[in-house]
Structures are given as C-alpha cells and as structure tokens.
Amino acid sequence: MGKHKSLFCQLTVIHEGEPVVANAGGTELQIDAPLPPEESPAPAAEPKPAVAQAEQPQPKPKKPLTRLQKLRLQAKERTAKLSGRPVRFFGEGTE
C-alpha cells in the first residue's frame, strides 16, 4: 500500500521474429487498501418450477460433415463400391 514513485518497467515483445524492447520509466504506482466486503442480506432461494415433459430439450440436429469427413466418406464409398461392402456414415453404428 502506498505510492511508489520510481517505478521502471521493461517490456520485450516478439514482432516478426525479432524482439522489440520498450522501456517505461518515471511512472508512479499507487496501491490502495482493499475495500471492505459489502454487507448485504443473503438472497432468498426461489423455488424452481418443475420441468414439464413437453419442455425437455429436443435432441440436437446432426452437424454437417467437414470437408475432410466428406473426402473420407467419398473414399470409403469408392472402396466399398469396388469390394461390394455397404457404406456406413460417420457416427452410425457406434451407439
């Protein structure tokens, strides 16, 4: 706590692969005592309403495939076409 008048700061930042040094001097730092904690009454706990069956969250829709997943799927389809095996999509059959 108190005032500190002869504060010196040196900062090094890497910019485009080269270090850039910045110096700051002649600054003043003042540190105050912390504020006392606020005295407030504890909030009363409100009863939570019961969640009805209709308000349950719906299952999330499936995310669209990424470019990499699409390419992998195309490769699987090509190999399955050549070998005669069925193709499974990502996430199917893992449940």
Domain that holds residue 17: 2-31
**For 47-77, how does the pLDDT look when each residue is reduced to its tens digit (9 = 90+)?**
666 555 556 777 788 888 899 999 998 888 8
Q: What is the pLDDT of residue 6?
A: 76
**pTM to 2 decimal places:** 0.28
Local structure of residue 34 (DSSP, 8 states): P
Question: Could you tell me if residue 17 is inside a domain?
Answer: yes
- 82 or 86, which is more confident: 82
Domain count, the chain: 1
**87 and 80 in contact (C-beta within 8 Å)?**
yes
**Is 51 domain-assigned?**
no
d(CA 2, CA 7): 13
pLDDT given at position 92? 59
* Count of Cβ atoms closer than 10 Å to residue 68 Cβ: 8
Q: Max alpha carbon distance in the chain (Å)? A: 81
The model's pLDDT over 7-51, given as tens digits with 9 standing for 90+, comes to: 777 888 898 999 999 887 777 778 888 888 877 766 666 666 655
Q: In this structure, is residue 6 part of a structural domain?
A: yes
